[in-house]
């Protein structure tokens, strides 16, 4: 990905617009070109953009948490434009009802029949903006959509477009008029990404770039190519010991005594679900593909563990009273559970390299 402060040249944008989507080719080159195109609009926030792309390639949904005004919505809409998918934004409010999300049946007196009006979830990218402003009934209406990628209306099932991803945003600082996501809903998201404020340098670049004639991103991928990239990510090699490392990390949140973190028993009420295991492997495969490898390293798992595991943990009242966060719990688990050590027999060993026993 190019430096976030590097603005495109005057003649570069017309050339990209004329070229259109990138032709099919090396997956890493295509993904990096898409990330670079997003960075022409989004200043900084490289981790947020990369993690969102990881979710997209891994066929997972994403929850962005941060205060208003830090480009969460802009990042999602820009990514949708770059990847060529259809985009739909739903502004969650307390008066929203489930039919506003998934659609409804409307009676047509002239035809004496019901017509189906499909909702805004029928898009490749669905932005659930400020999802914690809507009541639980509306939030739960996304469950079938996110898990099954289909909607049932009037006894008929309607499949959603492929690829399909839900990106939700929420504001962590408001407590009035909001409805926190229940544990079952949070578990549906592959990742929860905390989005920080920009630095002083990034703020100055935002002012320079966005105050007059903001740049526009251009399409790099298309839905067909994106599906091929998703299939390619599933083929990325995961060594048995790397898979065992993922399982040990997740199990340490359920049985902390067995993995040398018995002190976490008083702060953990519920550990991570099996979705965390599956999600961490899928996300690590996608990250490896973005970074130019056809095999997963333990470092890929460590980099993504916070984003995939933390939001699935339920803390005890004592932990909340002491100000302990789920991210701190994941950091403690990462420090206690040793990763496998990768040993390269030859410089070109690549995915066939063996991993030494952990310890």
Taking only the tens of pLDDT, the chain with its 359 residues reads 444 444 444 444 444 444 444 444 688 899 999 999 998 888 888 888 899 999 999 999 999 988 888 888 888 888 889 988 888 998 888 888 888 888 887 877 877 777 788 889 999 999 998 888 888 888 888 877 888 888 888 778 889 998 899 999 888 776 666 777 877 788 889 999 998 888 898 889 888 888 888 888 889 999 999 999 999 999 999 999 999 999 999 999 999 999 888 889 889 998 999 999 999 999 999 999 999 999 999 999 999 999 999 999 998 898 888 888 999 999 999 999 999 986 655 444 454 445 444 44
Domain with CATH 3.40.50.300 in the chain: 12-227
Contact 331, 310 (CB under 8 A): no
C-alpha span between 134 and 187 (Å, rounded)? 18
Which tokens sit at 34?
């898409």
Cis peptide before 288, with omega less than 30 degrees from 0? no
Contact 237, 351 (CB under 8 A): yes
C-alpha span between 189 and 170 (Å, rounded)? 13
C-alpha span between 158 and 189 (Å, rounded)? 22
The helix/strand/coil state of 126 is: strand
Per the DSSP assignment, residues forming a β-bridge with 192 are 63
C-alpha span between 38 and 205 (Å, rounded)? 15
Please give the angle made by the CA atoms of 89, 134 and 105, to the nearest 5 degrees.
70
Neighbours of 221 (CB within 10 A): 22
The helix/strand/coil state of 111 is: coil
pLDDT score, position 116: 80
Which of the four CATH numbers 1.10.8.80, 3.40.50.150, 3.90.870.10, 3.90.1150.10 does domain 236-356 have?
A: 1.10.8.80
Which of the four CATH numbers 3.60.20.10, 3.40.50.970, 2.30.30.90, 3.40.50.300 does domain 12-227 have?
A: 3.40.50.300
C-alpha span between 114 and 107 (Å, rounded)? 4
C-alpha span between 64 and 307 (Å, rounded)? 10
Torsion of CA 186, 187, 190, 194, to 10 degrees: 30
Instruction: Using a cut of 0.75, tell me whether the model's pTM lies above it.
Output: yes
Domain with CATH 1.10.8.80 in the chain: 236-356
- Give the chain's radius of gyration (CA, Å): 22
């Amino acid at each position: 990905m190019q430096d976030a402060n590097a603005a495109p040249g005057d003649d570069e944008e017309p050339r990209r617009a004329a070229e259109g989507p990138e032709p099919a080719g090396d997956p890493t080159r295509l993904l990096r070109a898409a990330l670079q195109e997003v960075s022409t609009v989004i200043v900084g926030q490289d981790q947020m953009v990369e993690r969102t792309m990881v979710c997209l390639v891994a066929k997972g949904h994403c929850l962005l948490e941060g205060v208003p005004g830090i480009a969460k919505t802009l990042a999602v809409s820009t990514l949708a434009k770059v990847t060529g998918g259809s985009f739909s934004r739903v502004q969650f409010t307390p008066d929203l009802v489930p039919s506003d999300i998934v659609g409804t049946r409307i009676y047509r007196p002239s035809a004496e029949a019901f017509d189906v009006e499909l909702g805004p979830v029928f898009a490749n990218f669905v932005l659930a903006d400020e999802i914690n402003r809507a009541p639980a009934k509306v939030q739960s209406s996304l469950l079938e959509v996110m898990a099954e990628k289909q909607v049932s209306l009037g006894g008929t099932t309607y499949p959603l477009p492929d690829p399909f991803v839900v990106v939700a945003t929420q504001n962590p600082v408001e407590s009035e008029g909001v409805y926190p996501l229940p544990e079952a809903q949070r578990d549906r998201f592959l990742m929860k990404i905390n989005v920080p404020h920009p630095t002083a340098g990034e703020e100055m670049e935002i002012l320079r770039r966005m105050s007059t004639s903001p740049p526009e991103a251009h399409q790099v991928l298309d839905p067909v190519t994106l599906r091929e990239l998703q299939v390619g990510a599933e083929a990325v090699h995961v060594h048995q010991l790397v898979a065992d490392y993922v399982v040990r990390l997740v199990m340490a949140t359920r049985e902390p005594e067995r993995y040398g973190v018995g002190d976490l028993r008083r702060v953990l009420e519920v550990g991570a679900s099996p979705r965390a295991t599956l999600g961490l492997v899928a996300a690590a495969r996608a990250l490896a593909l973005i970074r130019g490898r056809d095999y997963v390293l333990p470092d890929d798992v460590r980099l993504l563990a916070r984003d995939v595991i933390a939001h699935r943990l339920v803390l005890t009242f004592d932990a909340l009273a002491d100000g302990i966060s789920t991210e701190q719990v994941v950091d403690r688990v990462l420090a206690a559970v040793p990763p496998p050590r990768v040993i390269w027999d030859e410089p070109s060993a690549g995915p066939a390299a063996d991993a030494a026993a952990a310890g």
